[in-house]
A and B are shown apart, each in its own frame.
Chain A
Amino acid sequence: MTTTTKPAAPVAAAPAARRLGPTSLALRQGRLEIRQFLRSRESVVFTLGFPIIMVLIFASIFDDDLGSGASYTQYFITGMIATGLMTVSFQNLGIWIPIERDRGVLKRYRGTPMPKWVWFAGKVIMVLVIGVVMTALLLAVSVTLFDLNLPATAAAWFTFGWVSILGITACTLCGIAISSLARTARSGSAVVTPIALVLQFISGVFFVFTNLPPWMQQVAALFPLKWMCQGLRSVFLPESFGANEPGGSFELTRVALVLGAWCVIGLLLCLTTFRWTTRRDG
């Protein structure tokens, strides 16, 4: 008696076809993106380290009282949280996607049965996870070193949540969209960094927004960062400070509308302009 059996047909011999479901595909992709991010020293230092270093420097140098029970430190920290959210989404993606596109990573994904959305989902998961980590680090530093008060009410936490999510979504979509502007791996940073830097200066991150020239305020009001900062100020600064805002209040409805509009604009740009390959590559 032999144990040898007739070889099965090649198809039957193959491991049972297992197609991963959408959730596990997305989670795998997200895990891979996060791992890649954490292994890249530039990303970690630049994206996670930059906002924290800025808080340490600025909050230590300036400690003016802005009136209405708010200090410059508190004002600046909310701006840095908004900046941090923009850095992990807009800058991070706008810089790294052109590099991956240039190195043929995107083209290789495109040649597999992976549904396109999975790749985007991976980026979104990475941005959200790193965004949460960065915000938590910033809050930890600010609460321990600079007496920032965490939101006291559920309503304030809720506002914190939706402003952050809407803001990071808008910036993620814009980051993916703007990545298609870069012609080469290197130019991603040249496209994105000046935009981010200018927005930081005119949106009330480094300077108190209402001290800026009116025309600059008008320009800033067209872009998401100003509204993210304002929304976060409503969470971390005393309610009375709202009267100091340009509109006489924190204008949360307008914050939601502008950020929502940028989500739509970003999504449309992504859908119409996203490139899996470089320009010279068809």
Chain B
Amino acid sequence: MAAGRTLDGMSDDVAIRVRGLRKAYGDNVAVADLDLDVHRGEVFALLGPNGAGKTTTVEILEGYRHRDAGEVRVLDADPARPTPDWRGRVGIVLQGTGEFDDLTVAEVVHHFAGFYPGADDPDKVIERVGLAAKAQARTHTLSGGQKRRLDVALGIIGRPELLFLDEPTTGFDPEARREFWELIRDLSAAGTTIVLTTHYLDEAEALADRAGVIAGGRLVEVAAPNLLGNRQEALATVSWRTPDGTLESAESASPTALVTELAARFGGEVPGLTVTRPTLEDIYLKMIGHR
């Protein structure tokens, strides 16, 4: 790792650094004392229920909203004072779709490409997001998922170093989501830093190097998705059916031993045997429920 450190103590490999971020709308505190670090090149997922402060946080990082307090650095700049140069390095896919009405997909993407000094080839980008067949269609004729793809095209047309995606796959069918995930993996492999908010835990699990759970305007935990909430060490639940047909279950730190013991008790197959560990969803619901 390069040893360089900037004057304010920000290391070269940090794309986003947030300390004590606070934002309130009237009496409603949307973000309360939030700390966050995103490293260059990683895919970071921000998880949380509606109203947890995800979009507010992301829109402050994108330079759309002003913070009440706290220190925020995004690509070594304060997003509250965005310069065109900084904007050129940041790609944004906002929550919800935008509509350009009577313009075609190709016209919009070509037009936006003109704003970025290092823009990608618009036709290639249209192809990449899977809109090649719709390139000449007016944008208002697109389906919800297709409009979302157009948003993604506009987010990546400038070949950003850092890409924000706010609930990017809402309205996608399963196949479109898989394709989208591939696109994100490609971008990430090419070195793009990605910050993604999502409701879908499988999306975080599939894409993110690290995930942060946000609840009540605070980041309650940050970990690799498979380690969130000490998921690896959580007790396993073993359940089986007794001879009279009732379902029994037990939580165990050593499920293998319990299964061996059950096998001995039943003299072979254990009827209705399942061994489960809490899913990411279980962990997540527990985390946000506790607040």
- For the complex, give the distance between the alpha carbons of A15 and B121 in Å: 9
Check if A186 is an interface residue, CB within 8 A of chain B: no
Give the residue of A15, A32, A40, A113 whose beta carbon is less than 8 angstroms from that of B87. A113
| Interface footprint category on A | 20 to 34
Residue of A nearest to B112 (CB): A112
Chain A residues with CB under 8 A of B158: 112-113
If over half of B's interface residues share one DSSP class (helix, strand or loop), that class is named, otherwise mixed; here it is: loop
In the complex, A104 Cα to B158 Cα: how many Å? 19
| Nearest CB in chain A to that of B83: its residue | A113
Could you tell me which residues of chain B, from 105 to 136, have a CB within 8 Å of some CB in chain A? 107, 111-112, 114-119, 121
Closest beta carbon of chain A to B111's beta carbon, Å: 6
The answer to whether B117 touches A19, judged by C-beta atoms less than 8 angstroms apart, is yes
Residue of B nearest to A11 (CB): B118
Interface flags for A85-117 (1: CB within 8 Å of B; 0: not) read 000000000000000000111011011111100
| Closest Cβ neighbor of B30 among chain A residues | A282
A105 touches B87 (CB 8 A): no
Residue of B nearest to A111 (CB): B92
A113 touches B115 (CB 8 A): yes
Which of B64, B119, B121 sits near A107, CB closer than 8 Å?
A: B64
The chain B residue sitting closest to A36, CB to CB, is B102
Cβ contact within 8 Å between A115 and B84: yes
Please measure, in the bound complex, the distance between the C-alpha atom of A202 and the C-alpha atom of B203, giving whole angstroms.
Answer: 61
Q: Within the complex, which residue of B102, B112, B191 is in contact with A39, where a contact is CB–CB below 8 Å?
A: B102
Which chain B residue shows the least CB distance to A41? B102
B contact residues, total (Cβ < 8 Å): 37
Question: Does B85 lie at the interface of the complex (its beta carbon under 8 Å from any beta carbon of A)?
Answer: yes
Kindly provide the distance from the CB of A174 to the nearest chain B CB, expressed in whole angstroms: 24
B144 located at the interface, meaning its Cβ lies under 8 Å from any Cβ of chain A in the complex: no
Is there a chain B Cβ closer than 8 Å to A20's Cβ?
yes
Q: How far is the CB of B207 from chain A (nearest CB, A)?
A: 22
Residue of A nearest to B90 (CB): A111
A61 within 8 A of B: no
Assess the A111–B114 pair: CB atoms within 8 A. no
Q: A104 touching B92 by the CB < 8 A rule?
A: no
Please give the distance in Å from A215's CB to the nearest CB on chain B.
Answer: 43
Q: Is A8 an interface residue (CB 8 A)?
A: no
Q: Is B21 an interface residue (CB 8 A)?
A: no
For A19, the chain B residues whose CB sits under 8 A away are 117
Q: How far is the CA of A35 from the CA of B111 in the complex (A)?
A: 12
- Quick one: closest A residue to B138, CB to CB? A39
A14 is contacted by which of B107, B114, B118 (Cβ under 8 Å)?
B118
Q: State whether B117 touches A105 (Cβ < 8 A).
A: no
Cβ-defined contact, B102 with A105, below 8 A: no
Q: How far is the CA of A108 from the CA of B87 in the complex (A)?
A: 12
Inter-chain contacts of A18 with B (CB < 8 A): 117
Is the CB of A277 closer than 8 A to any CB of chain B? yes
B62 surroundings in chain A (CB, below 8 A): 111
Q: Which residues of A contact B85 (CB under 8 A)?
A: 113
The minimal Cβ–Cβ distance linking B163 to chain A, given in whole angstroms, is 12
Given contacts A14-B159, A282-B59, A282-B65, contact A113 B98 (CB under 8 A): no
Q: Is the pair A111, B64 in contact by a Cβ cutoff of 8 Å?
A: yes
The reply to whether B114 and A25 contact each other, CB–CB distance below 8 Å, is yes
CB <8 Å contact, A110 and B115: no
Interface pair B94/A107, CB less than 8 Å apart: yes
CB neighbours (8 Å) of A112 from chain B are: 87, 112, 115-116, 158
Q: A36-B103, A108-B94 are in contact. List 10 more A-B contacts (CB 8 A).
A: A14-B159, A28-B114, A35-B102, A103-B98, A104-B96, A105-B100, A107-B94, A111-B64, A111-B87, A282-B64
> What are 10 A-B interface contacts by the 8 Å CB criterion?
A32-B103, A36-B101, A40-B101, A108-B92, A108-B112, A111-B62, A113-B84, A113-B87, A113-B88, A115-B84
